[in-house]
Structure 1
Amino acid sequence: MSYQRLENVIQGSLDAGGEDISGKNLQTATSLLAAQANDVRSHRVNWQSYLQGQMISQEEFTFIREYDNATNKEQRDQVLQRYGPSAAKIFLSLMGHISKDQTVQYILTMVDDMLQEDHDRVSYFFDHAKKAKTTPWAQFLNMLNRQDKFVINQAARVIAKLACWGKEKMNTNDLNYYFSWIRGQLTAAGNEYLPASAGCLQMVLRYNVYREAFMETEGMGTIVSVLGSRCGFQIQYQLTFCIWMVTYNAALTAQVNKYNVIPVLADILHESAKEKVTRIILATFRNLLEKPEEKEIVQDNALAMIQCKVLKQLEVLEGQKFEDSDITDDIEYISEKLRDSVEGLSSFDEYSQEVKSGRLEWSPVHKSEKFWRENAARLNEKNYEMLKILIKLLETSKDSTVLAVSAHDIGEYVRHYPRGKHNIEQLGGKELVMTYMGHEDPTVRYEALLAVQKLMVHNWEYLGKALEQQK
């Protein structure tokens, strides 16, 4: 999918309040927030009572009544132009000193609608902020700490619009705070407003400066964690959309797969029955093969897809009909790239990608004497990258097969590399392997015992035969 279409898609999403890749109005993305906003609009506020109670000034009353009673964009423009930056000042003042949640909801919805109707209206908030020596989003960021969930999420939408449509971009401290809030919303248990929070992230990641900041705050890890938790298809789509936008930054593509993005998306691609989810995953995979400037990164991404059996899934998809021609184009492009990579794939390339994916299984390479004899020393490359991953898997994995294969490979490394024992001890692997000698799974127990014996003795061949007789 072209970057120009990306621009059109996102703009359509912002205008519609939905997040569909085709630019159609997909209200399901923010259905709860949208439904509540409709309800809020239907309960008009009695501004006269606030004036009589001396809770608002005459100027505030005159403005808010005129704006609230305007029936079309032309009338609203006339009111805003008369007041200029004071309009923003009044909105902020009303939200600041009125405590009733229902009224704050109404004012926030007015502001959100005002910006949605005309993106240039963010200038009122920027001009006021300049005079007040503050930021346009400062008060809205403070509202994220309120108790009312509608207020919180409506304020988050306004922040996203100010951050995207204004003449200045959000500063680092405020942006980090906003991203931290979004990450908290994405991981909050039972969050009914999850699609709305994801929608805010989709909105701000349109801009490269925000993508870079998002990656710096480890936001990709949060996205992958949510995607790996079997969330619904709408969240799968929205969060993959966020990854897709990040992959338009060539420099960031080098960082993306360290979060195991490809294995998680490959699983979703294999299981998903929704065309829009398939479409956005394929668009993301294409970017990961097309955008990186370093050939090594492209190759690593290709190998990760091959390891996760993406090529086989593409063969299944080739036999299906899709409404969007981009899907067919992406399938053809990705398939060609992956087949080219398969042709030049060495056994060590295959092995290293399997290890990096964290999805170890008893593939033939692990039991190959020839492989270990020729490649054991290569586990030392890139500052012992492969060894460190194997040890990390022993430390964190709960999968018995992964544990057994990791222990086995460490033992084979020690057996075939002269200084292997020393390296494993230095990396803390020896003690870790020893803890699995009492594991409940007999295969894990056996491989751990064998690996420990290889770490402690030198006559590996004799030991191997003896253990085989016991097995």
Structure 2
Amino acid sequence: MSYTQLSQNATEGSVSTLLRMDTFNGHIEDIDKIGMYAATNQLQHRANEVRNTRINWQSYLQGQMIDPEDYDFMVKLESLSAVPEQRKALLEANSDQFARTFFSMLAKISKDQTVQYVLTLLDDLLQEEKTRVDVFKRYMEQRKENVWSPFFSLLHRQDGFIVNQASRIVAKFACWGSRLMEQTDLVHYLNWLNEQLRIPSNEYLQTVARCLQMLLRVSQYRQVFCDIDGIGTLANVLSGKVNYQIQYQLVFCLWCLSFDADIVARMKKYNLIPICADILCESEKEKVNRIVCAFFRHLLEKPADSQLTQESALAMVHCKVLKQVELLAQKKYDDIEHEDDLKYLVEVLSNSIHDLSSFDEYASELKAGRLEWSPVHKSERFWRENAIRLNERNYELLKILVRLLESSKDSLVLCVAAHDVGEYVRHYPRGKTVIEQLGAKELVMKMLSSEDPNVRYNALIAVQKIMVHNWEYLGKQIEEKQPAGGATGGGGSAAKPAASVNS
């Protein structure tokens, strides 16, 4: 007998279950509609097929692969698939046999089809009643065995459905019940999830993200995830091409993490604001916009360090978040909390740009990694007054410039970064030693062979500023040689001047 009826019962109750399970300080994960989620999620689609499988338990009994007690329990359990109250009574009256049967089958049966069925049945039974995880935990504790081992061993099977269905069960065991996952097992499982996120075109990515969403609601699990560089993995996946459902799920993970102020401080180095700002500006899905705004609000609200809050606010402004939330705030929403988040962001971001100095503007632009030919870059007065400030906080801004020169693929960013390095050494001659020690000189030299003529030109000018002392005289000669309309320093699509043809 199949367990389609049990699945239907679990699904009918799963809307309220999801709302309860995913309500986290008022925000609800609305996986659109349960039916749509089941139809589009690879694991759920396969699970619907598995539930209709008929397993010949008699053959397993005759082959002595299962005990008579396990056989009787499974036959009786399946016979009650359409009678939830009687099934519940059976499981409560035979809790040890319940756990024993499932652990026994997972240990003794290797056939993929049967393992798929057993895992799917167990997942449905847990979904139907969350407290059932304690039945399994108590059973293994009494025998002084590790409750996670049978499922961890399944994470290395070749069958993707078995692997990810086992992972779902591990996540439920870790988050439900009276006891949390122990540190060693938690690190093992989180590392496994982290690796799964990195797999290109992983067809079970939604399931992996779903497990992570559950885990990161538990505050004790968040720091461990950060310690294995989980935030970096989330940033890498979100910066690539993923669909809106994955965007929603992974930003949801970031939002869960951002409930902890110290984790918000650790997030600073991952450049999450530009990544999520792009998602906010490009997405047409309200659920995605809503979770990004909720995450941004945490980045501004949670830190105890007011300077970190100001830096985050300015980075958001530079990434055009203020303009986007102003547009979004003009619409009407059923979600009152989303409206409140939008109002909060508009107010805080608007206030952050009041009394903003030109250096604050420059630092914000640099930290966001979105360099463009804004007025400060071309201002003689700005560099004369502020070049030395790039040395502050152990050369923090200068190191960001070097990192952009090393890693950016954007020609505009490379042009502006090279220009800024040149202006730094021109107005702070001692900086030549600093940029050489940081590797900036070598990076700019490499840019002389770039395929982009504008990158070559700005690199050439920067190198000359680094190498010569009387820049003003040489600069005038270069400007005289530059053809009309070729004001490359202005950041346009100017043609490459004759002075750099043979560089």
TM-score band, normalised by shorter chain: over 0.9
- After TM superposition, the structure 1 = structure 2 runs for residues 265-414 of structure 1, keeping only pairs within 5 Å, are 265-414=276-425
Alignment of 1:419-430 (within 5 A): 419-430=430-441
Residues 125-164 of structure 1: pairs in structure 2 closer than 5 A: 125-164=136-175
Q: Are 1:27 and 1:34, in contact at CA under 8 Å, matched by a contact in 2? A: no
Q: Deviations over 1:52-75 (max 9, x none)?
A: 111111222122222232333433
In structure 2, how many angstroms separate the alpha carbons of the residues matched to 1:24 and 1:446? 51
Counterpart of 2:43? 33
Match of 2:346, SS state, is: helix
Letter of the 1:363 counterpart: S
Whole-Å separation in 1 of the counterparts to 2:244 and 2:462: 43
> Shift in Å at residue 134 of structure 1?
3.1
- Measure the CA separation in 1 of the matches of 2:161 and 2:214: 19
TM superposition shift of 1:45: 1.5
Q: How many Å separate the matches in 2 of 1:60 and 1:439?
A: 70
CA contact (8 A) 1:347 1:365 kept: yes
Residue in 1 that maps onto 2:57: 47
Q: Once structures 1 and 2 are overlaid, which stretch shifts more, 337-346 or 444-453?
A: 444-453
CA–CA separation in structure 1 for the residues paired with 2:18 and 2:459: 52
Equivalent in 53, 69, 80 of residue 70 of structure 1: 80
8 Å Cα contact 1:282/1:330 also seen in 2 = yes
Residues 224, 259 of structure 1: 8 Å contact kept: yes
Question: Are 1:238 and 2:249 matched, yes or no?
Answer: yes
Asked if the contact 1:394–1:433 (Cα under 8 Å) also holds between the matched residues in 2, the reply is yes
Specify which of 204, 221, 245 is matched with residue 232 of structure 2. Answer: 221
Could you tell me how far apart the structure 2 residues matched to 1:9 and 1:304 are?
38
1:411 partner amino acid: G
Residue of structure 1 equivalent to 2:176: 165
Q: Which residue of 2 aligns with 1:21?
A: 29
Q: Which residue of 1 aligns with 2:499?
A: none
When residues 80 and 44 of structure 1 are mapped into structure 2, their CA distance, relative to the original with a 3 A threshold, is same
Instruction: Provide the rounded CA distance (Å) in 1 between the counterparts of 2:20 and 2:133.
Output: 18
1:42 aligned counterpart, secondary structure: coil
8 A contact 2:73–2:97 mirrored in 1: no
**Residue 3 (structure 1) aligns with:** none
Q: 1:407–1:24: structure 2 CA closer, same or farther, 3 Å change rule?
A: closer
The residue type paired with residue 51 of structure 1 is L
> How far did 1:327 drift?
2.2
How far has the Cα of 1:24 moved from its partner? 6.9
Give, in whole Å, the separation in 2 of the partners of 1:326 and 1:58.
55
Kept in 2: contact 1:29–1:195 (CA 8 A)? no
Q: What displacement does 1:171 show? A: 2.6
Counterpart residue number, 1:116: 127
Cross-structure match for 1:57: 67
Note the residue ranges of structure 1 that are not aligned, 5 or more in a row.
1-7
Once the two structures are TM-superposed, the CA of residue 32 in structure 1 deviates from its matched residue by 2.6
Name the TM-score, length of structure 1 as normaliser.
0.93
- Give the unaligned 5+ runs of structure 2: 1-15, 483-503
Matched letter for residue 306 of structure 2: K
Name which of 207, 210, 217 aligns with 1:206: 217
Partner letter of residue 176 of structure 1?
V
Q: 418, 424, 427: which is aligned to 1:416?
A: 427
Question: Alpha-carbon deviation of 1:102?
Answer: 0.9
Distance 2:18 2:308 in 1: 27
Q: Is 1:435 paired with 2:452?
A: no
Question: Partner amino acid for 2:426?
Answer: R
Residue of structure 2 in register with 1:248 after alignment: 259
Does the Cα contact within 8 Å between 2:19 and 2:29 map onto a contact in 1?
Answer: no
Kept after mapping to 1: 8 A contact 2:369/2:404: yes
| Residues 118-159 of structure 1 deviation map (CA, whole Å, 9 limit, x = unaligned) | 111111121122133333222111111101111111111100
Amino acid of the residue matched to residue 44 of structure 2? A
1:251 counterpart SS class: helix
> Does the CA-based 8 Å contact 1:13-1:25 persist in structure 2?
no
Say which SS state the counterpart of residue 70 (structure 2) adopts: helix
Distance 1:88 1:396, change over 3 A: same
CA separation of 1:229/1:23 partners in 2, compared to 1, >3 Å: closer, same or farther? Answer: closer
